[in-house]
Amino acid sequence: MSATVTELAPPREQQAHRDRSRLASVLAYFRRNPQLVMGIGLVGGLLLVGPVGRLVVDVRQAQPLSGLPGLAPSLANPLGTDDQGRDLFAVMVAGLPLTLEVGFLAGAIGLMIGVILGFTAGFLGGWVDAVVRMVVDTLLTVPALLVLIIIAASIRGVISVTIMAVVIASLAWMHPARTIRAQVLTLRERGYVQLARLSGMNTLSLIGREIVPNLLPYLAAAFVGAVASAVLASIGLEALGLGPQNEPTVGMTIYWALLFNALLRGMWWWWLPPIVVVVVLFFGLLLLSAGLDEIANPRRRRRA
């Protein structure tokens, strides 16, 4: 009876009914996948720290000599100041978006290169696949952190947020290339792909219309993993003093705290906030990746 009513309803009512059904399906899936909801909430909250924080604090206070040094947290300075007189709340507001920028930029570049190489190797096969696989397997044996330290140290005087993202992305494409190649190898043998090939569809159309749409959830999960790896690499380099010296990123805040012995001097407000931010960021990315993996991996999908 309801189907008959829907068929006889005006087009606008049918569209409204379909929209309500889609919204109900999305909400129902979010209830079944709390990891994805929590991950979106945590990462989204951190993304809002920059634009919202600028409404309540002057980010110019994140510069050295903008205030009295070594002040404990107070109403005027919620997170205190460091030995350079920087307001650490302003440092978090100005620096967290920069750290996220490094992660997202490096993750996007690394994933893009990995997608190109993975699709090329997995779909074409033959000697192309052999060359790509050999290069990736060889580079995966090289200690990535050591290479990044050497590269960052060699350009230390001119390094910026963008250059640092490019440096990290130079080694961030290997794992995506390897895993995406494996996914494409399985998808290209599926029946619907073979049928599309027999129908005369060219290679680019076959990849764009048949393979890419089925890989989108997996690519989203891979992007989140690439961002997490890039953020970890950037914080590691910055904690060693190999980051942008004039930018108040989270990693550089940790570096300055270590350099001036904030832990031994009891200045917990200097080193604890950036560590908490890092923990929350990685926990959010972990939950987000797990939630997206449930969408990408049919074996992990739960039914209502």
Instruction: Using only the alpha carbons of the chain, give its radius of gyration.
Output: 24
Question: Which candidate, 19, 20, 42, places its Cα nearest to that of 291?
Answer: 42
Helices and strands per DSSP (H, E), number in the chain: 14, 0
Query: Which residues lie below 8 Å from residue 270, measured CB to CB, with a gap of 6+?
Result: 80, 82, 88, 253, 256, 257, 260, 262
| pTM for the whole structure | 0.82
Cα 73 to Cα 92: distance, rounded to the nearest angstrom: 14
Question: Which candidate, 288, 220, 252, places its Cα nearest to that of 44?
Answer: 288
Residue 87's DSSP bridge partners are 81
Q: Position 211: which residue type?
A: I
Contact 58, 90 (CB under 8 A): yes
Burial (CB count within 10 angstroms: exposed 0-12, middle 13-18, buried 19+), residue 231: buried
Is CATH 1.10.3720.10 correct for 101-247+274-300? yes
Predicted confidence pLDDT, tens digits, the chain (304 residues): 444 444 445 566 666 656 566 666 666 666 777 888 898 999 999 999 989 999 988 889 999 888 899 899 998 889 999 999 999 999 999 999 999 999 999 999 999 999 999 888 888 878 888 898 898 888 888 887 788 888 887 876 678 888 889 889 988 888 888 888 888 888 877 777 777 777 777 777 777 777 888 888 888 888 998 999 999 999 988 888 888 888 899 999 999 999 999 989 989 999 999 999 999 999 999 998 888 877 766 555 554 3
Cα 108 to Cα 102: distance, rounded to the nearest angstrom: 10
Contact 92, 249 (CB under 8 A): no
CA–CA distances in Å: residue 190 to residues 196, 220, 257? 10, 22, 54
Query: Which residues lie below 8 Å from residue 70, measured CB to CB, with a gap of 6+?
Result: 80, 81, 82, 83, 267
> What are the residue ranges spanned by the domains of the chain?
101-247+274-300
